[in-house]
Amino acid sequence: MLLKNNKRILILIPSLVGGGAERALLNLLNLLDLKQYSIDLAVVSYRGIYTNQIPSEVNVIPMFKNDLLVRFLAYLQKRIGWTFWFKYVVRKKLNRDYELSISYIDGNFTNLILMMRSPGNKVSWVHSSYESYSNFSKFYQNNRYKTKLINNRYQKLDAIVFVSQDSKKEFINVFGEFPKMPVVYNIVNEKNILAQKNAFEVEKSSIITFVTIGSLYPVKAYDKLIHASKLLVDKGLKFKVQILGKGFLERELKALVSSLGLEKTIDFVGFKPNPYPYLDASDIFIMTSKSEALPVSLMEAMILGKPIIVTNCSGCRELVGNGKFGQMAEQTNKSIADKMEFLIQKKEDLGYYSDLSKRGASLFKDDIVLKKNISILECNFE
């Protein structure tokens, strides 16, 4: 599909670490016909597992290569409003006229596209839940800070794009409504998932295996998954749990597993650039998050037809249709354990729950979602 007038587009992203939003951007770039586009990708802190996976047609602009410097400058920006060095680098490196500039992950770095001299449209993409995710909501309780963001950031944007209806509702609850607020799902690149699931072999266990994918951060609530597993082990149930991801809670979570005697039940696999063979070899996908905007790993699991267990939180409930396409637990150890036990006992019927998952995945097929993404690139924000 050809962009009107072959527009020059800037996409800004904080880094290229292994998160769901970064993977969604890669999927978008890989599915676009890049011969029809002129895209610059500005990476604020040039680091991460995906730095060598950007399509060659995309012009990558590393803004900073020292992550500690970026963090220090971001701290000064947030605490005292000192933006001189950011503004200098932005105007030196992002000095072209873009018809569209996108901050692909909304946050403090969204202000960087507002520092540009380019007169084109400026858009921010919200991949988070600003009300239910405590890391964000605790800051937005400060009315002075919130008003500053409204006046200095969001009112100056031409559109704010949301990855789910849930993330949009939470944003409105915090900041209010703005003229252009479209909802566009992330792209999961179904063909790539189906191809990559056979990249290497993962031995399938003879007992029910749950898999979860995500950074080892508090929002993922892996402690609840571990405690829920302990409840089932104490009842004599046999199963395995694989956790794919890295993060600062790794040592703490491993210590919890050890203290509960679950070393033979729960396996920390680590971060995998290609998680699909592990996902494909598993029996059930489980996500115990406190908050999500639109979890890419859940979408990928549904594409592969994995029976689903999620907690009742933003993003997750939207994708599973409030329990229509997957099991939905409350955010308690017992409720999670009950849903796990339910599917363990339904081992012979997992094919039925697999079909439900695939039916839910039809709502975010690549061709449908790609058209909506292209609509944003064409500056159609309705």
pLDDT digits (tens, 9 = 90+) for 256-314: 999 999 999 999 999 998 999 999 999 999 999 998 989 989 999 999 999 999 999 98
∠ CA(354), CA(277), CA(325), 5° rounding? 20
Q: Which fold has domain 190-363?
A: Rossmann fold (3.40.50)
**Equal fold, 4-189+365-377 vs 190-363:** yes
The pLDDT value given to residue 139: 75
Distance (Å, whole) CA 328 – CA 345: 16
Regarding pTM above 0.75, the answer is: yes
Question: What tokens appear for 137 in the block?
Answer: 């909501």
Cα 103 from Cα 310, distance rounded (Å): 29
What gap in Å lies between CA 310 and CA 302, rounded to an integer?
A: 12
Which residue carries 């020292």 as its tokens? 66
What are the sequence ranges of the domains in the chain? 4-189+365-377, 190-363
What is the spatial order of strands in the sheet that 209-213 belongs to?
A: 266-268, 240-244, 209-213, 284-287, 308-311, 327-329
79-123 pLDDT, tens digit each: 888 888 899 999 999 999 999 999 999 999 999 999 999 999 999
4-189+365-377, CATH topology level: Rossmann fold (3.40.50)
CB 153 within 8 A of CB 110: yes
